[in-house]
Amino acid sequence: MEIIGFINANKKYNKKKSKSYTNKCNYIITFIIIIIFLLSFFLNIYFFIYINKSNNKFQKLFEKIDIKLNDTNKHQEPISKVNSTSIEYSIKLLKTMTNNDEAEYKGALNCLLNDNESCIYHFLCPKEIPGKKRILIGQKTDGGYVLLDDFENIKIAYSFGIENNVVFDKDLADRGIDVYMYDHTINSLPYENPKFHWKKIGVGGKNDKNETIKTLEELIIENGHSSEKNMILKMDIESCEWNTLKDLPDDILSQFKYITMELHFNVNSNLIYEVLKKIYKTHQVFYFYCNGGTNVVTLGDNRVCQFLEVSWVIRKDNTFIKDSAIYPIEEFKRTINTYSEFNLNIFKLFDF
């Protein structure tokens, strides 16, 4: 009987012990479940806040965009109408515009989000001028430049970098404009014109001066044009444009209604930023063209074609709207260059 009682007591003890162990396990499992739930809850809140912040960041960026993208020759709807609030779409869009070039994509994204003055995209973003059409002056090859079809009150043009191509200059002369032409690398013009005024002189900055190089300010004074307004400035002078414009006083720069030139991005980037910022104060870009094939140079976060033809118009007395053109503009297009189409449209992100 004592043995039976002991066995029964032992059974009751083991049962109680087992129940206690089970309860402990249940408590632990419940605790773990609560911890997992809380972690999941807070992680969801964190990711919700993070994703919303990211979406807001990209939404603010792409709210600035209202362009059409030329993707495999298919004109899409304006981006502002195509899910521009989606972060996935926004990233895909920028990658498409950078031709899936990772370095260019990251650089452009950093440039756009920071919107700082080291972004040349900001200073070169084209605008349209209502009621004024863009036209090609000169031939549809190297040496032709795009201006606006508005030559009212323009009597004087300065043309630097001639070589053997004077078609641009002749087109201006046919409009009754006197063209002051300079190139110290040639001995004569291909042919003469009563409106041509050529000298074997080059142009540069103050530190470039010698027996064959003068500053633009000096040439304007020599020609008696110090009070002339609405002039045209055209340059293709193999990187000398940067020093020439850096040392040009702002009041003389404002004498030019149009500035058109080929920019060569093979000089110090600080000089490039300084000059583009200077021109931006008085003039607005209305056209550009990538004349460097697939050659691309890197300037900080900026990646641009090596040779970029740019046309500006003076801001005074002009109004500007968002540029609806697809670049390169077909009627002025010279070569088939798929890379430059994407590269140029990055600039349009600043069209706001």
Tens digit of pLDDT for each residue in 288-346?
988 866 677 888 888 888 889 999 999 998 999 988 887 778 888 776 555 566 677 77
What per-residue confidence (pLDDT) applies to 192? 93
State how far the Cα of 352 lies from the Cα of 338, in Å rounded to an integer: 25
State how far the Cα of 233 lies from the Cα of 172, in Å rounded to an integer: 12
State how far the Cα of 179 lies from the Cα of 156, in Å rounded to an integer: 6
Give the amino acid at 111: C
Reading the block at residue 109, the tokens are: 């994204």
State how far the Cα of 301 lies from the Cα of 299, in Å rounded to an integer: 6
Instruction: Examine the pLDDT at 71 and tell me if it is beyond 50.
Output: no
The domains of the chain are located at 120-350
Q: What are the two backbone dihedrals, phi and then psi, of residue 116, each rounded to the nearest 5 degrees?
A: -95, 170
State the CATH architecture for 120-350.
Answer: 3-Layer(aba) Sandwich (3.40)
Instruction: Examine the pLDDT at 258 and tell me if it is beyond 80.
Output: yes
Nearest CA to 232 among 289, 280, 171, 291?
Answer: 171
pLDDT in tens, 203-255: 999 999 999 999 999 999 999 999 999 999 999 999 999 999 999 999 999 99
For the ranges 79-88, 105-114, 306-315, the one whose mean pLDDT is highest: 306-315
Q: Which residues pair with 203 in a beta bridge?
A: 214
* Contact call for residues 306 and 265 (beta carbons, < 8 A): yes
Lowest model confidence (mean pLDDT) among 12-21, 54-63, 71-80, 321-330: 71-80
